[in-house]
């Protein structure tokens, strides 16, 4: 009986990771020296994200907050480990949080639920609660047949609020609200 071969990947520094991300079209998440490629998104996922990006962008025009859709990294430190991942939408309002390739102090994070990401979202949710600037964490369903948003707010101790079809999605930290169904336009 032979021994199992252990496959290890070499440690990648933060600088190597950030440089590598500028040289490839594939996005990667980073956790303490390990890099993992990310899967692509579905049509529904992209439509929901784009619709919300447009509405938030228009609402925030002329304000210090900026909306980033999927291609700007969030950088965290967790127990001294460096972590980078790509939120589906990230709204950052701190003008001093201005690195070219990432943000560290977002106000709102929005993830769009898919079968591939369902398992990862709970882990990200627990991690994201450690971000002192974060005011809302929102998870949107991507299926237009079942419009839903799971909203977690710092002001409520991160208790989950569910917003359904016919209800209003509200983001108090951005003074933003809109009918949830508007997020699914083009899919209904």
Select the more confidently predicted residue: 34 or 168: 168
Identify the three-state secondary structure at position 161.
strand
pLDDT of the residue at 3: 44
Residue 113, number of CB atoms within 10 A of its CB: 19
Would you place residue 57 in the very low, low, confident or very high pLDDT band (cuts 50, 70, 90)?
Answer: very high
Report the candidate in 133, 138, 132 with the shortest Cα–Cα distance to residue 109.
Answer: 138
Section 19-33 average pLDDT: 89
pLDDT of the residue at 115: 64
Percent of the chain scored above 90 by pLDDT?
Answer: 67
pLDDT tens digits, 134-186: 999 999 998 999 999 999 999 999 899 999 999 999 999 999 999 999 999 99
User: 188 pLDDT exceeds 90?
Assistant: no
Query: What's phi and psi for 88, nearest 5 deg?
Result: -60, -45
pLDDT of the residue at 2: 44
The number of residues making up the chain comes to 188
Q: What does the mean pLDDT of the chain come to?
A: 88
Beta carbons within 8 Å of 40's beta carbon, 6+ residues apart: none
Residue 78, number of CB atoms within 10 A of its CB: 11
The Cα–Cα gap between 124 and 87 comes to 9
Among positive and negative, which fits the CA dihedral 71, 73, 92, 94? negative
Query: What's phi and psi for 89, nearest 5 deg?
Result: -135, 140
Section 105-118 average pLDDT: 83
pLDDT tens digits, 118-139: 555 656 666 667 899 999 999 9
């Amino acid at each position: 009986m032979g021994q199992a071969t252990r496959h290890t990947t070499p440690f990648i520094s933060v600088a190597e990771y950030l440089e590598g991300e500028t040289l490839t079209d594939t996005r990667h998440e980073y956790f303490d020296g390990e890099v993992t490629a990310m899967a692509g998104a579905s049509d529904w996922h992209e439509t929901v994200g784009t619709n919300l990006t447009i509405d938030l962008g228009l609402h925030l025009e002329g304000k210090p907050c900026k909306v980033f859709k999927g291609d700007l990294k969030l950088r965290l430190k967790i127990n001294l480990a460096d972590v980078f991942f790509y939120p589906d939408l990230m709204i950052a309002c701190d003008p001093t949080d201005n690195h070219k390739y990432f943000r560290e102090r977002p106000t709102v994070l929005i993830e769009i639920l898919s079968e591939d990401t369902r398992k990862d979202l709970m882990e990200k949710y627990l991690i994201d609660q450690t971000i002192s600037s974060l005011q809302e964490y929102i998870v949107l369903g991507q299926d237009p047949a079942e419009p839903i948003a799971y909203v977690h707010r710092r002001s409520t101790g991160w208790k989950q609020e569910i917003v359904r079809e016919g209800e209003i999605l509200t983001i108090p930290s951005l003074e933003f609200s809109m009918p949830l169904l508007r997020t699914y336009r083009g899919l209904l």
